[in-house]
Amino acid sequence: GGELKHGPIALIDENMPVIVIAPHDRIFEKTVSNMQEVSARGGKIILITDAKGAAQAGIKTMETIILPEVPEIIAPIIYALPIQMLAYFTAVFMGTDVDQPRNLAKSVTVE
Element (H, E) at 49: strand 44-50
- Work out the pLDDT band at 101, boundaries 50, 70, 90: confident
Nearest to 21 by CA among 91, 71, 81, 73: 81
Range of the structural domain that residue 45 is part of: 2-70
Q: How far apart are the first and last CA of the chain?
A: 39
Is position 45 within any domain?
A: yes
Summarize the confidence of residues 6-12 as an average pLDDT: 84
- Work out the pLDDT band at 109, boundaries 50, 70, 90: low
pTM metric for this prediction: 0.81
Distance CA 99, CA 103 (A): 12
Element (H, E) at 60: none
CATH number of the domain that 43 lies in? Answer: 3.40.50.10490
Nearest to 6 by CA among 32, 29, 37: 37
pLDDT score for 63: 93
Is position 98 within any domain?
A: no
Q: How many domains does the chain have?
A: 1
